[in-house]
Each structure stands twice: as C-alpha cells, then as structure tokens.
Amino acid sequence: MNQKCKINIFLGKTQKELNKEKNTMYKEINPTDWNFENVGDFIEGVLVRKQDNIGINKSMLYSIETSEGLKNVWGSTILDNRMALVTVGEKIRVTYKGLAEAKAGKNPAKIFKVEVDKLE
C-alpha cells in the first residue's frame, strides 16, 4: 500500500470523495448590514440565524440569506417583538414603515412590518 493510499484510509475518505472535494466551489461569506432609508424599503429572504446580546448595546442581530447574499439586520424593540414569532429557516420580508411619534425625551421608535411566507 503506498503512502497516499494510507493517508486516504486514515482520513476515512475514498479517492472518489477526495476527487469530488477538489471540484468543490466555495463562495465567500461576507455578510453586510441591511440599511433602510425610506418608508417602504424592505429585505426578503430566509432567516438563517438569530443572535442576542450582540455589540455594546446588547442588541439582537438577524441574518437573512437574500438573493444578493447574506445580510444582517440589527434589532430594535418593535422589530424584536415581531421577529420573536419567526423561526429560523422561514422565508420572510421585513419592511420599514417609518417612525412612530417620539415620546418625551426619547428618540422615535422605528416601525417594521414582518411577513412570513406561508406558501412554502
């Protein structure tokens, strides 16, 4: 048995599996943040991850696989309440609806509509 064959057996992979791996196409994962500016801006895709206590503000961070790649969406009180009802793996659309009236001494809340594709 030659050295190459011994290594392949040690790794538990057949030569066919190793050859297939050589032809594997890799895609770089480089998520970007979704930035909304105007009422009606939306993001649509599959929710792939929910993270909590992220960053200095201990915010929620949602990762959505879109047709343009992986996008991160930072949480807010209203968005977090709606996203609590979404399960990882579901296709969703998040639409920015504008700002609520500001309460005394506070910034106005950002309003979002969250929809889940129930046809899948």
Condensed to tens digits (0 to 9), the pLDDT of residues 38-96 reads 999 999 999 999 999 998 999 999 999 999 999 999 999 999 999 999 999 999 999 99
Distance CA 47, CA 60 (A): 13
Q: At a CB cut-off of 8 Å and minimum separation 6, what does 27 contact? A: none
The residue extents of the domains of the chain are 27-116
Question: What global pTM score does this model have?
Answer: 0.73
Q: 64 and 112 in contact (C-beta within 8 Å)?
A: no
Q: Are 63 and 56 in contact (CB under 8 A)?
A: no
- 60: nearest Cα among 72, 70, 50: 50
How far is Cα 19 from Cα 12, in angstroms, rounded to an integer? 14
The DSSP bridge partners found for residue 99 are: 110
**Residue 4 predicted with pLDDT over 60:** no
Q: Give the closest residue to 47 by CA, choosing from 19, 82, 13, 21.
A: 82
CATH of domain 27-116: 2.40.50
